[in-house]
Structure 1
């Protein structure tokens, strides 16, 4: 029978070979197609859509024997060796509209042969290169994702894990194009302007469990037209120490001294590559050699590697991240530990039902006013839980009801909250939070309000 006879016997009329190819907007894409060469004349075409009963739907290129007889435009080329059975279709400067199914069809009329190959094409949009976002436990971070909204807003979903062929795996949020229609929890929000294509995901209160790859998917009609963006999130584990004003803080840090004691430094800020930022104390391994003030000390047993830092009489300015760095010989071998300190200014007020109560809260405006909020409940990692008042720094921008007012001079930093006609329902903890740029720099004050009813104070829990 010979090789050609065997091939033609195996490639029966109507057989479809299915393949898949992906590309990126602006690049060139090559769709492969080969067929067995015979002495008989062949006809071939490339078209958009699935292979039909005859010819090619929406043709983009035609071949007669060994000659390309027609192409829809200069973007479509067949550059293979046709005499050797190669019919690869090259599409230059691809766009999202090039996504979909393509059909390569070869017929040999004299032999009754009709060979077909279908290729699914998926074009990705290079919104931004895949990137790495790093944060720390308890951070609020934004994972960037944008698209062109020239043709209107589009449905979007965010998922945990790599982008699948369709939809979002382990979905955590979805939109209808103009608003969020579902979110797995209140920790996931889209705070950008969705109508302009900003669908960046903001995650609050990060935990180590949220580390991994995230997928942003923008729905575009048509097969394989969706815009996709994958972002890898890495989360550093920062230890947390909470304290109240005037407390004595202990920030734990230790290392193994089997090979001897080592020089150590403490800084107020995240650990840098080579040093301690905003250094507050340093030791040579055996004793403290320098400290910013007497408030800082290493009272532990340095000979056993206990380099825990104590801070006397905590102030609001002591809040933030601290770095403990132990010097280890060799490049990048230093032992580093980061600890976040949260200082809370707590107070307690008692009033009677029907009173007008003022919950005091002030901050320094020497560097300008700052946005702030009041909320019900303890101060959370960021913003205010169950917010009742927001300001832009100069004026009240929102309040839950008219009973909540800031009657003092906001521009001088007096953001004390006045509650008119308090009732038993107003009893509980309140949070005053003043926004300060930088991670974990916000000024916070918690006030517990107790409302007496019928002359009897509420029992304390």
Structure 2
């Protein structure tokens, strides 16, 4: 777009201020056509002598607005430039480099950034010979149309130039050549004119590539400085009809909408057309949307304002190109694990987040609005115990989703998309969605399932070893239980956060509560047939990352199938009434730490407990004092833990169990050693076979 000012009336000299009348016009070029829109404006122009400077110097272009002016627009332009662009433009809240001419980018700044006292002068740095020309200063005040306040003629000279040719001679020579070659000149002018129109069309045409993925939204930008827009039309020449959308500001009415582009497909970014914003949002873009789009407008006072279509030249042409997604991530996960679906946005001004799966109905899994930290939508199959944002504050653009306790039905393609620029949201402004990540989730069976056998009544260690030492939480569970969690343990504070009603602390215990070296193994005590089943050990890691809004995902370490078996050997031991008897018990492991003899039909069932370290009986049943029971070898040499039962009576008949703990050198304050049954003995008390009278 080329802006120009054309003087139409004479000059009235009034001291140092000259009052002039101008037509302010905008010229637009498209495919061989030129359209000029003009409006009348009066100016109070400050008359100045031409300014002469040398190449490389800085120069101040003077311009003074009313001292109490509330400036809403400042333009410095050069009408003699061929290509479009401002020398300098100031609009509150917008970048001064927007629509700035490339030759002046980075070289122009306000002399007083605060514009105190109406000083709107600019400093042009490191001037060039090409900067020679006429500079116009136009100021728009609150409630008024822009006015021209100053015209400055700048002359830049190069003292190092040694060109001595006479400009007058050059003009005469050019005139003679022109007269001699007039026919050729006419043809050349026509050719150049056509080429200029083509170049102007190319400058007005923008090639737009949808940066994300099909099914994204695309914003087709259309912006004008004229705030008096009353109608907008978007069209595509290859469509029949070619009009996509027509909109009239009076009454906020859509006057036309293409059959293939209903309101769920197209929408103006701002229906109030504030600040001349006529951009179109094209929703759920598909390859068929690729093409050339034209934006036309009508402003108040235009001769076209009362007709239903807009015959004017377009002010913006956009060639839309739709591309396939650049990156699709493959994310594998084990069955039953939690998984993080990563999504990271570069723009920190996120307004809304949406996760979806196209094969679901509805396809939206979770929608979240940052303002107010509100879940605006949640799929019926994905409740809060199933899905959760990794960071609800969306710090540093992290919108990753945690999918919990993954099942085979969770396999599919997930899409993460966002809207940004929440501070721009109004009742009439729509923010477009942009896809950040597409993830194909692959659910796999656990790599290893361990088979662990155990004898009935024994203790058993269910092994679980984590490679990551930064463990935060541990959980053991059995899927066939309701609830399925057996034990949950938090390392910070060494706290049991959950314990199943059937698995109290006398039934289950972590082998090492300090979880040293990643040891998360569980001791299951006094195993019964009901303990048979499949156990799962899983953890969360990275406790230093935990915050009030950050969730740590669970990762399965081990799955164990526990098989409970009957004791391999039950010994039958007969004894005569009144005799002493040895109940044999022999361990292969010499590193015995504790020995326990028990009878299940007694309450309590423990007869004798003995700790090797210190050779101390740690427990003795009230009915089995030291004159009744005694270990054959208190030193337990060679693993001999046999028990002597003295002066047997009929009440001593029953089933006795001998069990041990081994590895006493490993015992610490937080380490528990499991019990292992060595022998089960059924003691049968009989009457004496013969009594002889002598």
TM-score of the aligned structures, taking structure 2 as reference length? 0.28
- Which protein shows a greater Rg? 2
Indicate the structure whose relative CO is greater, using CA pairs within 8 Å and at least 6 residues apart.
1
Q: TM-score, normalised by structure 1?
A: 0.39
